[in-house]
Chains A and B, each alone.
Chain A
Amino acid sequence: MKLFFSILILIGILFYSYKSNQTHNNFNYNPNEIELDATNGKLKLEMFSEKIIILYFGFLSCPDFCPTTLSKISKVFKGLTPDEQKKFQFFFIDLDPKRDDIKSITEYLNFFSKDFIGVKMNDRQLLSFSQFFKIKYRYVPLNSELKYTVDHAADLVLYSPSKKQILEKFSHSLPAESILESLKKY
């Protein structure tokens, strides 16, 4: 009898965790199929199935951390051989669609590298997309000229579109040399 109840409870726990997992991870969501409004036109991540995608989520009025990361990435890319460079594609996902338009995102990214692709989404797209990549962000009113800021996870995400899988995440504090070393392994 005791065993029966334990099994019942176990099944209950498993079922519950499965359900909560499902709503949380959005099993049906496929970032590869979403049509994205990018700095070089409309595209889908599945078009990059031969590459590894490096994603960074940020916003243009962030003058400190986001540009620091972008110049770090451009430094990393310069450290790769041309053949190695071809294996990767960098994407900047804009977290501030209200303030940033595709033209300013393009100008901004070109400053760091002509090969970077920027993406602008609407609020709903952005929410599911960032949830898939487990990137937290939040709009916070600010007593400043800026009016509001975007708190956001500053990790770099390595994503394989063909595997539909996150391969690795690099912490915001990881120096360019370490990122370069990790990328060379792919």
Chain B
Amino acid sequence: MIKLFSIAVGLFYFFNANALEILNAKIKLLPPASKTTAMFLTVKNDSDADQKIVNIKSKISDEIELHNMIMEDGMMKMRATNEILIPKKSSVELKPGGLHVMIFNLKSALKENDEHEFIMELSNKEIIKFKALVIPL
């Protein structure tokens, strides 16, 4: 009985382990010649602790970075950022003209409606897997 209970608890934690939920992940379909693209998504943090995204990995590229767009002095500026903070009990939208994920040196050209797997690493070493859809944006 205790064994069964611990399995149940284990399963519960297994399915609820992620502090963050990834929604609506989309990769921008760009001209086939383009080796660089951007990914947008919404990150929901229902936990009671602030979370920080520190890294994103995928088989489609070895160089994936977190970036931000800032409008300043009448110029659009793109900057790399080391982490993206997702405050507790809130969600952050990575969208065009703001925070986004940059994917460099794509290993092969992206195709519309393809899905690709990603791994997100948080500052607390937690790992979240998610899929993103390739669409023209």
Contacts and interface: CB of A to CB of B under 8 A. Distances in A.
B65 A149 contact: no
Contacts of B100: 64
B28 A140 contact: no
B10 interface: no
B70 to A, nearest CB: 9
A107 B31 contact: yes
Contacts of B118: none
B34 A108 contact: yes
A65, A68, A110, A152 pick with most chain B CB within 10 angstroms:
A65
Interface stretch (A28-36, A55-63, A78-86): A55-63
B78 A64 contact: yes
B104 to A, nearest CB: 4
A111 B74 CA distance: 28
B75 A71 contact: no
Interface residues of A, number: 29
B78 A71 contact: no
Contacts of A104: 33
Interface in B99-126: 100, 102-105
Contact of A137 (B38, B67, B75, B97): B75
Given A61-B36, A63-B36, A68 B31 contact: no
Given A60-B34, A138-B75, A146-B36, 19 more contacts: A62-B78, A63-B28, A63-B34, A63-B37, A64-B78, A64-B100, A67-B30, A107-B31, A107-B32, A107-B33, A110-B31, A142-B80, A143-B80, A145-B65, A146-B102, A149-B77, A152-B75, A153-B76, A172-B71
Interface of A: 60-65, 67-68, 71, 104, 107-108, 110-111, 136-138, 140, 142-146, 149, 151-154, 172
19 contacts: A62-B78, A63-B30, A64-B28, A64-B38, A65-B78, A71-B137, A108-B34, A111-B30, A140-B77, A142-B78, A145-B65, A146-B80, A149-B77, A149-B78, A151-B75, A151-B76, A151-B77, A153-B75, A172-B76
